[in-house]
Amino acid sequence: MSQERNESVPHMKSEEFRQLGHQMVDWIADYWARMESYPVRAKVAPGEVLSKLPPHAPEQGLGGVEGWDAVFKDLESVVMPGVTHWQSPSFFAYFPANASGPSVLGELLSAGLGVQGMLWSTGPSCTELETRVLDWLAELIGLPESFRSMSPAGGGVIQGTASEATLVAMVAARSRVRRQRPGDAPLVAYSSTQAHSSVLKAAMLSGVARGASDTAHVRLLETDGGYALRPELLERAITEDLAAGRQPFFVCATLGTTSSGAMDPLGPTSEVMKRTGLTDMGGWLHVDAAWAGSALICPENQGLAAGIENVDSIAFDPHKWMLTNFDCDAFYTRDRAALVEALSVTPEYLRNAASASGSVIDYRDWQVELGRRFRALKLWFVVRHYGVNGLRAYIREHVRLAALFESWVREDTRFELAVPRSLSLVCFRLAPRPGEAPEATDARNRALLDKLNATGSAFLSHTVLPGVGGKPARFVLRMAIGAPSTQETHVRACWEALQKLTGE
């Protein structure tokens, strides 16, 4: 950047950047190699990291490459003890948050280019590479052409997270329904109780819900025994709300719920929306496939999305299970005009000839933020490096490992599956002992989880699955396989640790 010329501002010199950049790349490679030497979940106490950081910003800078020795030292002594290792091969908690070599290179390049692609004109490559790579992915996961940019009305965009995707879909839905059904009827959104918390959060942000307990405007419907949405309950709720003068406008179906990986039936859900007249009112069906969506790149999994041609939008996170660093959510809609109508504000200072021509996409109108970085690079790198075959092999290997884990659970009578395995997620628990109170079973499971996580050898998280059909709710452990480096040996070690702790 020709930064050398002004001596009063201590910009990093080109040679220094090269040297420190190489050092940082090597540090990362070393970290990946030694990752298993760390406890998976950080063992620090609250405030411990904070207490090691000086209370005031330094007056003087580092003064060159030598000064950076102190930074690398603090990285080891201050930062690393407080890192929970999401990339560890024994990280099985929540859902994965994938990083990979190609993706890190893409993030690095994006930072180095420093492009801000709010408008086509401020980043033509930022925009058009995103358009193309998202069309690639749309084809891979089996989306009809109506969701791709080649279609007159559809297209894909990278959102930061699935939460943003849900929010954007919800406000587009509101805009479309209000246009078709003007008035002040209270709006109602629908999902199952198992939908992600971001549905309720989107309703709170958008003002549809007044607070986290507003069940009048966000109906969280009971599920079937497999924790999937029950279309007949959705139909009843929509019908009742319409009869009461309320305005249904948004349904969120989930492919792969966070708690148990349940798959809501898309076809029957959209049928309900048609039958109740909601589709004709402009009602919107969004599919949150944040985690499971990546599995749709394998043809054998695409049946899970049967009926996808009738939904209005779908989002999934390559940053979860497709080797692309956070943040990268792929969002598709068949009605991009609704997005733009709900989100576009064009002040004079953003007007330009290309936008005025109508021949370009300005992705700022498809998202919450105005600014956007060049996130398509990392996705492009990942797809090119692995190729479709490599990406499919990656998904299949995790599914294979989860099936193996599931078989071990089935074979050990001390344990039970909470629900059948969903792709690479296994929900299981210590089985109830004869006559044991449900609370006691839960307590034993909680203790097992705490003991395992305290060892640092693996990290699992939990959920509570609601009781269905009069049964009690259950505390269950979630084995979510999906870190890039996870091998059979890590899954087996985790299972053996669980068995050993159970035997104690």
Applying the rule CB under 8 A, the residues between 188 and 227 that interact with a copy of itself are 196-198, 200-201, 204-208, 210-212
Give the bridge partners for 343, in sequence order: none
Read off the tokens for 127.
């925009």
One of 38, 113, 146, 501 touching a copy of itself (CB under 8 A): 113
Cβ nearer to a copy of itself, comparing 384 with 414 = 384
One of 92, 98, 147, 268 touching a copy of itself (CB under 8 A): 98
Read off the tokens for 117.
């692609």
Q: Is 351 exposed, middle or buried (0-12, 13-18, 19+ CB in 10 A)?
A: exposed
One of 77, 215, 344, 407 touching a copy of itself (CB under 8 A): 344
Residue 343 engages a copy of itself in binding (rule: CB under 8 A): yes
Contact 162, 290 (CB under 8 A): yes
The least distance separating a copy of itself from the CB of residue 469, rounded to whole angstroms, comes to 20
- Please name the amino acid found at residue 173: A
Listed residue (110, 92, 165) closest to 449, CA to CA: 92
- Which 401-460 residues touch a copy of itself, going by CB under 8 A? none
Cβ nearer to a copy of itself, comparing 371 with 410 = 371
One of 111, 244, 306, 447 touching a copy of itself (CB under 8 A): 111
The least distance separating a copy of itself from the CB of residue 392, rounded to whole angstroms, comes to 9
The least distance separating a copy of itself from the CB of residue 490, rounded to whole angstroms, comes to 9
Q: Is 156 helix (H, G, I), strand (E, B) or coil?
A: strand
Backbone angles phi, psi at 477, to 5 degrees: -95, 145
- Applying CB under 8 A, the span of 45-53, 235-243, 280-288, 418-426 interacting with a copy of itself comes to 45-53
Residue 29 engages a copy of itself in binding (rule: CB under 8 A): yes
One of 37, 66, 114, 183 touching a copy of itself (CB under 8 A): 114
The least distance separating a copy of itself from the CB of residue 46, rounded to whole angstroms, comes to 5
- Which 358-397 residues touch a copy of itself, going by CB under 8 A? 359-360, 368-371, 373, 377, 381, 383-390, 393-394, 397
Matching residue, tokens 């049946």? 303
The least distance separating a copy of itself from the CB of residue 20, rounded to whole angstroms, comes to 6
The least distance separating a copy of itself from the CB of residue 238, rounded to whole angstroms, comes to 21
Listed residue (214, 232, 210) closest to 222, CA to CA: 232
Contact 116, 123 (CB under 8 A): yes
Cβ nearer to a copy of itself, comparing 220 with 417 = 220
Contacts of 182 (CB under 8 A, 6+ apart): none
DSSP string, 81-126: GG---TTSTTB-SSS-----HHHHHHHHHHHHHT---SSGGG-HHH
Q: Judging by DSSP bridges, how do beta strands 155-159 and 329-333 pair with one another?
A: antiparallel
Residue 38 engages a copy of itself in binding (rule: CB under 8 A): no
Cβ nearer to a copy of itself, comparing 39 with 268 = 39
Read off the tokens for 303.
């049946």
The least distance separating a copy of itself from the CB of residue 93, rounded to whole angstroms, comes to 8
Contact 291, 97 (CB under 8 A): no
Contact 301, 423 (CB under 8 A): yes
One of 40, 92, 129, 228 touching a copy of itself (CB under 8 A): 129
